[in-house]
Structure 1
Amino acid sequence: MAAFLTRCLTQAKQVRHFLEASSFVHQSSARVSVYEYDRKGGYRKEKKPPVKEMLKHGFKELKVELGHFKEEVKEKLECDVFMDLQHGDFEYQWRMNSLDVIESWTVTSDMDNSEGQSKASLAFSKNNTALFHGYLSQEVPKDGVQKRSGYCNIRSPSKFKAFKRKVPYDWCPFNCLLIKVRGDGRPYMLSIGMDRSFDINWNDQYNYTLYTRGGPYWQIAKIPFSKFYLTSKGRIQDKQCAIQLEKVSFFGISLGDGAEGPFCLEIDSIALLYDENHSEEFAYEMYQANPAHVGT
């Protein structure tokens, strides 16, 4: 028995020395945690300008930011009384009737990230509305990495206070989204990004599909916030929860229906609506599952 244990120990030492001497074997500890190193999910491409240029630009912005800070303090001291909303009250969040509003939105496609050949743009139309149009391509780059392709997206600007302090949108008083569009018959994905602290929740979004009608007529869609479901990096999460309307980071519209060809979506306005007849908190079942299996 002792000889057998000695032989096993000797063989284990030989295997260990072989692994340490081998250059093609990488030894590392098992990963037991999830860590997101970037809020952009690896898509961050911006580079910091030189310090001299940053200081020069900062002094130019100082006067403007001081004006914003003055208005912020004034609003804080006035302490606006919260108005009780009545049934049918709404508030425009974005009216796409000016070039400045449209230019503040961000347009992306798979071509911008070297993941496809789709093209998209957001233009100011002759009807004083925003025109989200382009070409959706299903061609997959031959890089050996991408398996599928074809998406275009527009995203609203983030909300900032004075001195570029980023703050979330607060949509708490309302319970429905009101959007006026004129589509081409394609389904578009509406996304509400969340402003959450922990890195595992940085990519949390709430989504809902908007089915548009082709033709010359405008379409007004009223969508309760309770109908939006939770996703992360494009995957529907097993553990669902109601949306936190006081922590909205951005609003976006995406196209990725898998149908190659041109698309066109005309957007007039995006508003928030209060419907007193809608009392639903969340439309989907929230299962009581093992936290070790469904915890993220």
Structure 2
Amino acid sequence: MLRRFVARSIELTKKALSPDMIYPPSERELFRFASESDLRRWVVYSDSQYGGQTEASLSLNVDGRNTTGVFAGHLSTEISEGKGGSLARATRLKRSGFTGVRTADGEGVMDLEPFNTIAMRIHGDGRWYICSLRTDSWVNTPGTGQYNTWQAYIIAPKDRWAVVKVPLDRYMLTWRGKFLKTGMEMNPARVVGMGWSLAANGGPGEGVSGPGPFRLELDWVQGLRE
């Protein structure tokens, strides 16, 4: 415990003396979706891992001089027949109709403390998506795989490009998809992952929902100080 406290103290001291803290940048590019190597930093998941039939992929889209990433597929609430008894099928049924894309493990730590907003340039389909950030916390030991997950709803504008901005204070702590009212604040200096997800049941307001095709085109993600 003492060793962890000393290491953390040294880390904070070095950080306080860094140029970014003395002259914080107004923006920083966090991710771009312009090449196959960019896309290899991301992992796609869906209910198909639990017996569902949702299909999803992340691929490159080249349009003239602009190359972007496309997270797309087909949301399904159907359940595959076969393995397991009735209890296993019921468990899978509760998990159907969702998919997402997240940064791969081992991406390292993003220090977002100089910023107060996440900005993303996206081209959507009118569906609600959940934008997620994963952070280490003061409680969990960094590198143990125990993280806090913070989520915020965004709506992807239909059939047009837009820069969507999400203030960091809009992200709420969640546990297994449920928002928690704990009063805990995000630690923006220890962001270890990011992602987007969606479910067939839609979001908190009007928008496209239900099973069917989805498509979220991604250009870049930035940290902003506004």
TM over 0.5: yes
Contact 1:92–1:269 (Cα < 8 Å) also in 2: yes
1:7-54 CA-to-partner distances (Å, cap 9, x unmatched) read: xxxxxxxxxxxxxxxxxxxxxxxxxxxxxxxxxxxxxxxxxxxxxxxx
1:178 is aligned to 2:119: yes
Q: How does 1:150-165 map to 2 (within 5 A)?
A: 150-159=97-106
Q: Secondary structure at the match of 2:29?
A: strand
Q: Distance in 2 between matches of 1:97 and 1:144?
A: 40
The change in CA–CA distance for 1:137 and 1:171 in structure 2 (over 3 A counts) is same
Instruction: Give the C-alpha shift of residue 141 in structure 1.
Output: 4.5
1:97 is aligned to 2:39: no
Instruction: Give the C-alpha shift of residue 104 in structure 1.
Output: 1.9
Q: Distance in 2 between matches of 1:185 and 1:203?
A: 30
Could you tell me which residue of structure 1 aligns to residue 51 of structure 2? 115
Q: Distance in 1 between matches of 2:58 and 2:188?
A: 27
Could you tell me which residue of structure 1 aligns to residue 92 of structure 2? 146
Contact 1:107–1:120 (Cα < 8 Å) also in 2: yes
Q: Which amino acid aligns with 2:216?
A: L
Q: Which amino acid aligns with 1:202?
A: Q
Q: How does 1:15-164 map to 2 (within 5 A)?
A: 81-82=19-20, 83-85=22-24, 89-111=26-48, 113-127=49-63, 128-141=67-80, 143-148=89-94, 149-159=96-106
Instruction: Give the C-alpha shift of residue 195 in structure 1.
Output: 2.1
The normalised TM-score by structure 2 is 0.76
Contact 2:77–2:200 (Cα < 8 Å) also in 1: no
Aligned residues: 187
Contact 2:128–2:155 (Cα < 8 Å) also in 1: yes
1:266 is aligned to 2:200: no
Q: Distance in 2 between matches of 1:223 and 1:123?
A: 25
Could you tell me which residue of structure 2 aligns to residue 244 of structure 1? 187
Higher Cα Rg: structure 1 or 2? 1
Q: Distance in 2 between matches of 1:126 and 1:246?
A: 34
Contact 1:180–1:220 (Cα < 8 Å) also in 2: yes
1:250-279 CA-to-partner distances (Å, cap 9, x unmatched) read: 00100113210011110000110001xxxx
Q: Which amino acid aligns with 2:180?
A: Q
1:157-213 CA-to-partner distances (Å, cap 9, x unmatched) read: 3455xxxxxx422111111001000000001100001224169x9352110011112
| RMSD, aligned CA | 2.3
Percent identity (aligned): 26
Q: Distance in 2 between matches of 1:240 and 1:260?
A: 35
The normalised TM-score by structure 1 is 0.59
Contact 1:188–1:253 (Cα < 8 Å) also in 2: yes
Q: Distance in 1 between matches of 2:52 and 2:220?
A: 30
Could you tell me which residue of structure 1 aligns to residue 167 of structure 2? 224
Contact 2:76–2:200 (Cα < 8 Å) also in 1: no
Q: Which amino acid aligns with 1:109?
A: S
Q: Distance in 2 between matches of 1:224 and 1:158?
A: 25
Segments of structure 1 that go 5 or more residues without pairing to the other structure are 1-75, 161-166, 276-296
Q: Distance in 2 between matches of 1:202 and 1:90?
A: 29
1:187-243 CA-to-partner distances (Å, cap 9, x unmatched) read: 1100001224169x935211001111212x211011110011110111111313221
Contact 2:129–2:198 (Cα < 8 Å) also in 1: yes
Q: Secondary structure at the match of 2:50?
A: coil
Q: Secondary structure at the match of 1:126?
A: strand
1:78-124 CA-to-partner distances (Å, cap 9, x unmatched) read: x85335136xx21100011111101221111111x233100100000
Contact 1:230–1:237 (Cα < 8 Å) also in 2: yes
Question: Which has the larger strand fraction?
Answer: 2
The change in CA–CA distance for 1:178 and 1:117 in structure 2 (over 3 A counts) is same
